[in-house]
Amino acid sequence: MITKSPTGRTSKALAALGLILVLVAAILLPAKTTYEGTIPVRTAPEIRGEEAATLTSPPNVPPAITRDYATKVIVDLEVLETTQRLADGVEYTFWTFGGGVPGDFIRVREGDLVEFHLQNHESSIVPHNIDLHAVTGPGGGAKASFTGPGQETVFTFTALNPGLYVYHCATAPVGMHIANGMYGMILVEPEEGLPPVDHEYYVMQSEFYTEGSFGAEGHQPFSYDKALAENATYVVFNGAVGSLTGDAALTANVGETVRLFVGNGGPNLVSSFHVIGEIFDNVYPEGGSTANHNVQTTLIPAGGSAIAEFRVDVPGTYILVDHSIFRAFDKGALAMLNVSGEDQPGLFNASPKKAVVE
Partner 1 sequence: MIVLRFLLIGLLIPLPSAGQAEGTRSVSTPMAEIPAGHFVAPYGSDTLEVAAFEIDRRPVTVGEYRGFVARDPRWSTEGVKRIFADENYLSRRASTGDPLLARAQPDELLRPVTEVSWFAARAFCEAHGKRLPTVNEWEFVAQASRERANAHGDSGFNREILRLYTLPRSPELPSVGSIFENYYGVWDLHGLVWEWVEDFNSILLSGASRVDSGLDRQLFCAAGSQGATDVEDYVAFMRYSQRASLTASRTGRNLGFRCARSSLPSGSLARAEAK
Binding site for partner 1 (CB under 8 A): 81, 83, 91, 93, 122-127, 129, 131, 138-139, 142-143, 146-151, 170-174, 176, 180, 211, 219, 221-222, 224-225
Residue 65 buriedness (CB in 10 A; 0-12 / 13-18 / 19+) = buried
CB 298 within 8 A of CB 263: no
Instruction: Write out the H or E segment, with its range, that includes residue 18.
Output: helix 8-28
Distance between CA atoms of residues 266 and 149, nearest Å: 25
CB of 95 vs partner 1, minimal distance in Å: 10
CB 98 within 8 A of CB 80: yes
CB of 224 vs partner 1, minimal distance in Å: 6
- In the bound state with partner 1, the residue whose beta carbon lies nearer, of 124 and 305, is 124
CB of 132 vs partner 1, minimal distance in Å: 13
- In the bound state with partner 1, the residue whose beta carbon lies nearer, of 122 and 192, is 122
CB of 209 vs partner 1, minimal distance in Å: 11
Neighbours of 11 (CB within 10 A): 10
Neighbours of 248 (CB within 10 A): 13
266 backbone φψ class: left, alpha, beta (φ>0; ψ -120 to 50) = left
User: At residue 34, what is the residue type?
Assistant: T
CB of 231 vs partner 1, minimal distance in Å: 15
Distance between CA atoms of residues 187 and 167, nearest Å: 10
CB of 127 vs partner 1, minimal distance in Å: 4
- In the bound state with partner 1, the residue whose beta carbon lies nearer, of 28 and 125, is 125
Selection from 127, 121, 159 nearest residue 140 by Cα:
159
- In the bound state with partner 1, the residue whose beta carbon lies nearer, of 92 and 280, is 92
CB of 150 vs partner 1, minimal distance in Å: 6
CB 187 within 8 A of CB 261: yes
- In the bound state with partner 1, the residue whose beta carbon lies nearer, of 131 and 207, is 131
Neighbours of 40 (CB within 10 A): 5
Neighbours of 128 (CB within 10 A): 28
- In the bound state with partner 1, the residue whose beta carbon lies nearer, of 81 and 189, is 81
Distance between CA atoms of residues 188 and 37, nearest Å: 28
- In the bound state with partner 1, the residue whose beta carbon lies nearer, of 124 and 243, is 124
